[in-house]
Structure 1
């Protein structure tokens, strides 16, 4: 053990001691999703030299998803059963409940608001609804509930402490009226999220004492979807309880390490998004094929539907749906040069202390999710409330709507849902023994209620354009899907008005178009826009992705997944280029819950011990003992206090980065260094350049 705490005059806080000694079940650095990926180990150095090469590295990791799916189709029984659970739930007038936390919570919201509800809205507007309405629930669009830890408010940013308690997931399931016989899908990137585990275990409890018959009934309807190998999860009691439970069906989608170490919003959530979407798509198809002809199914988007009169034909249809993921990757690969231009443009926008505004309608929730998830991953201010006089967040998201309420409705395809204190508070006060967690959870509950709806306005309205319009040098990003592309030429449309505002204010523009239109049709529209010199400059970017018109995508799953992957790769590249990543490590992670405190601790430990083991360090400063986990954690908790003071001055910095610099300087000089001195060094040199002085091999690539 080093004497680093003595040098820095730090006594471990009670919270740090409690975390190290009592929170070992949240020290998750052994998980496969927390390991660095071999394809991207020097990503930050490559990305800063050449954005295209960097993006190729990032997107190469998606090949791991493809490999997993090819394994999955060798035995589709569990996916087949899951699709049947959708049919059973609807036919029995039951609900479908999808629950997740963080990235998978946003996935759950996406399944409801961007996949399920729009499809049934389309069906109800079609003449075929007259044939279906007496055979399906009249409120079928409400039959799927997508919920996340913390409710709709948590879409914006994390509500601290909530994900660390099984109690939270349990209460939310009961609050949403989920009962025995409902189909329940609980999704967790890592397989260890407490709130998600609490949800699935409570769903099992609703079946009472488990007989052989009840186990069979429950297993048909209860699914746990996760992304780490079982043997890696076994040391964690809560995960093992689910994995070994006979009444829960497990769908393990483990793909390996993420493109950015621990960034499970990427490959983990992509694989889970796609497979859960396939389950819904196949379930709806099986439901409707009992009621409609093949020609009628084709009118609703199932154009490749075949008469599935036997199990083999049904399995082939499911297999093809899963394997269609590869085509999504090919569309992205064919657009990488344009995506790279977009990545450079947005990163330069932020380097120049400018802002970005994204506008979307059909793609809104997918766009919103990517923008919101940048905050915890890269230590940025979360999306601004209406109370902010000057923007703190670098990005804002707009959609159609005259005010905040209409924007939320367009966003979610339903009214905003908060967590009501009257349902949760008493249980939080009486059933949480951990003092620190109780305080954190009660504080978060006060920020999760129905009143939060009016705190966030995403409308492209007069109020917004008067106070938060794009300015000269800012970036405006417009995302259009399908028929929205035609609206680009309609001067009364939101899309055309957004471009006009952008150019009126001398902001830069990126136009992202995703459709199954013929390429020449879309190009004609682009050419007409370009003919107006006011609409396009040499800085502007157009990303035009036209998918094969013959491919089925009745729920828009492939379009939304494609856009998710594109934006995830792009925004990661942006953050790498502005110094928020070193190598492929998340050095700007926000330690806002127990899992992320553990990740931040391990990042500090890993970077310090890697440097002091290098021959360059030893030759210059002598042999240095590695720091311990408890030392790194004690310094992290003190850093959290200092960073909070900086945040109150509108100065976001990273606890991990400043801790690394302070420890390194103390080890070099064997003397005390203040946080302010470490911050000055960090701001002057940047973490990547700072570490490279002592570890030249950090950025090596051939």
Structure 2
């Protein structure tokens, strides 16, 4: 048996806990089965079809937000914060980026309170450092996925120990599928150390418990309170960065916001919790499918498509929206197999199609301004990895994911010649609706005018806010002020997800509603690639697995420095000369 056959056989027989096709989040949504054809015929119609799936979140939200587990979550968060404890959100991939975003939203809210109600802030200032996040792979993974880390429960356990989580703290584990090993590791370690622990996920609990041992173990743990946010398949099969993470942002954000409103109390409507979070979210969805919002998103999709087809580059500039954009743009790489962000000292790799920069601050200050705290990166040694039982390759050559490596992503406002492709280049100012108005908006536009001068094209995209007739591309959503401005951030997420997904659909990187250019960077994505080849080629799982493992081996052996990576799925399809037809 050759090496390829042996690896395929091992995955088929010994990694059944990562065969996940039975999960609803991994399945095709009938609402978007012909999404590629819809977008090809009409971008606006594709936008509406894509957003139709988000309506499935509303009934789930009404159920969960009225449930005893959600009440227990809000009480635990409030009690921990009121008594000086910490609230820690833990996630991996898109939920890890959500965890970092929730921490930043909390910190921003306290900074805003200091500006708007200084007398209340003086008594609440310590709260600013009581909400934290754990991202599998550390903050480095905010901008570039760390391959295979999610497969290790022990890595999550170590991050809990490193943070010193224990009695008096709350840990909220967030995993879209409910089965991410590293997140489960954080949940179990925090429970063992005496913290109050909650787990949010988006597949039916009974299915997870019946089929996956690691899930059954944590779901049956009496020290863990579970919140099942199941709301059906994703708009793009398996793309849990979409509806699953949106649902988690709504529920986790509501719990955090309700607790903050109780802590502030009697500071006016701006600092009060919303009376109906599910209803407020439904109103956001209604605003996003209004003609003006759809036209703005469709116009921006076609703009980016034109740029990328010419092998041009888009560079987003932002201030308060910078983490929202990072979350969306980072996730485009594993979902659609496009080049990841490139470090400043890397001139060999192809540049990312899109990049993100701070509109006002230089590189030396940009990361701390984006995170609203110093970066929190992993600095584990080879001995640490070996002690945790990591693969030999990881022990021998640990990934470079420390703070110095994160700093190599040049997100400051300095001119970056690598973003000025002669094939086309554009600077895009992205503003939240709340920062686009008044003096703040004027200052940001002035800063953008200065940094955007070298670019061939310049444009502005406003996410939310009251409709402004002067705005060329505004996705208007009537504001609902609240302590974390949660609805504004959800509107921003939905808009960015729609634009990036719609662009990739029109670029041919989605077949029907399947991510046909998926990367293979962990066991979950390996399984997804195998299932996709099986479906598109009419193969059984075992044969498709052998095809994918052979493709991975061939692509690794023949890869040339400085060239874009090819999806193993596309490699198999090309070798079989298969034309993918959606439907």
The answer, yes or no, to whether TM exceeds 0.5 is yes
Which of these residues, 59, 63, 88, is aligned with residue 79 of structure 2? 88
Distance apart, 1:503 and its partner CA: 6.2
Q: 1:399 maps to what in 2?
A: 358
Q: 2:302 maps to what in 1?
A: 344
Contact preservation (8 Å) 2:288, 2:477: no
Task: Establish whether residue 409 from structure 1 lines up as the match of residue 368 from structure 2.
Answer: yes
String of CA shifts for 1:503-534, please: whole Å, max 9, x gaps. Answer: 6643152422422x5x4xx435x4xxxxxxxx
Distance apart, 1:132 and its partner CA: 5.1
Distance apart, 1:444 and its partner CA: 7.7
Task: Establish whether residue 630 from structure 1 lines up as the match of residue 542 from structure 2.
Answer: yes
- CA distance in 2 between counterparts of 1:428 and 1:465 reads 36
Quick check: which has more Rg, 1 or 2? 1
Distance 1:483 1:494, change over 3 A: closer
Distance 1:440 1:34, change over 3 A: farther
Q: 2:429 maps to what in 1?
A: 478
Distance apart, 1:471 and its partner CA: 6.0
String of CA shifts for 1:352-386, please: whole Å, max 9, x gaps. Answer: 11110111111110011111110010001111110
Q: 1:230 maps to what in 2?
A: 205
- State the SS of the aligned residue for 2:246: helix
Distance 1:655 1:278, change over 3 A: same
Q: 2:456 maps to what in 1?
A: 506
Alignment of 1:555-574 (within 5 A): 555-574=484-503
- State the SS of the aligned residue for 2:580: helix
Distance apart, 1:345 and its partner CA: 1.1
Q: 1:523 maps to what in 2?
A: 469
- CA distance in 2 between counterparts of 1:22 and 1:277 reads 38
- CA distance in 1 between counterparts of 2:287 and 2:520 reads 35
Task: Establish whether residue 646 from structure 1 lines up as the match of residue 551 from structure 2.
Answer: no
- CA distance in 2 between counterparts of 1:122 and 1:604 reads 50
Task: Establish whether residue 148 from structure 1 lines up as the match of residue 135 from structure 2.
Answer: yes
Contact preservation (8 Å) 2:314, 2:425: yes
Distance 1:49 1:124, change over 3 A: same
TM-score (norm 1): 0.78
Which of these residues, 504, 513, 524, is aligned with residue 584 of structure 1? 513
- CA distance in 1 between counterparts of 2:421 and 2:368 reads 24
- State the SS of the aligned residue for 2:316: strand
Which of these residues, 93, 100, 117, is aligned with residue 91 of structure 2? 100
- State the SS of the aligned residue for 1:62: helix
- CA distance in 1 between counterparts of 2:441 and 2:58 reads 38
- CA distance in 2 between counterparts of 1:458 and 1:37 reads 36
Mark the runs of 5 or more structure 2 residues left unpaired by the alignment. none
- CA distance in 2 between counterparts of 1:159 and 1:131 reads 41
- State the SS of the aligned residue for 1:324: helix
- State the SS of the aligned residue for 1:398: strand
Which has the higher mean CA deviation after the structures are superposed, 444-453 or 26-35? Answer: 444-453
Distance apart, 1:465 and its partner CA: 4.3
Q: 1:19 maps to what in 2?
A: 11
TM-score (norm 2): 0.93
Q: 1:450 maps to what in 2?
A: 403
- CA distance in 2 between counterparts of 1:341 and 1:562 reads 17
Q: How many residues align?
A: 577
- CA distance in 1 between counterparts of 2:422 and 2:111 reads 37
- CA distance in 1 between counterparts of 2:559 and 2:439 reads 45
RMSD between superposed Cα atoms in Å: 2.3
Contact preservation (8 Å) 1:502, 1:509: no
Q: 2:250 maps to what in 1?
A: 274
- CA distance in 2 between counterparts of 1:443 and 1:163 reads 19
Distance apart, 1:403 and its partner CA: 3.1
Contact preservation (8 Å) 2:208, 2:215: yes
Mark the runs of 5 or more structure 1 residues left unpaired by the alignment. 1-8, 208-217, 306-316, 527-540, 610-626, 666-686, 693-697
Contact preservation (8 Å) 2:344, 2:408: yes
Q: 1:124 maps to what in 2?
A: 114
- CA distance in 1 between counterparts of 2:376 and 2:83 reads 26
Contact preservation (8 Å) 2:313, 2:419: no
Distance apart, 1:336 and its partner CA: 0.6
Alignment of 1:10-409 (within 5 A): 12-73=4-65, 75-113=66-104, 115-126=105-116, 128-131=117-120, 133-134=122-123, 136=124, 138-207=125-194, 221-234=196-209, 235-289=211-265, 293=266, 296-298=267-269, 301-302=270-271, 320-334=276-290, 335-389=293-347, 391-409=350-368
String of CA shifts for 1:10-63, please: whole Å, max 9, x gaps. Answer: 873433222112111011111110110001111112211211111111111001
String of CA shifts for 1:199-248, please: whole Å, max 9, x gaps. Answer: 111111113xxxxxxxxxx6xx3100000012221210001111111111
- State the SS of the aligned residue for 1:641: helix
Distance apart, 1:446 and its partner CA: 2.9
- CA distance in 2 between counterparts of 1:340 and 1:10 reads 49
- CA distance in 2 between counterparts of 1:472 and 1:638 reads 35
- State the SS of the aligned residue for 1:260: coil
Contact preservation (8 Å) 2:60, 2:230: yes
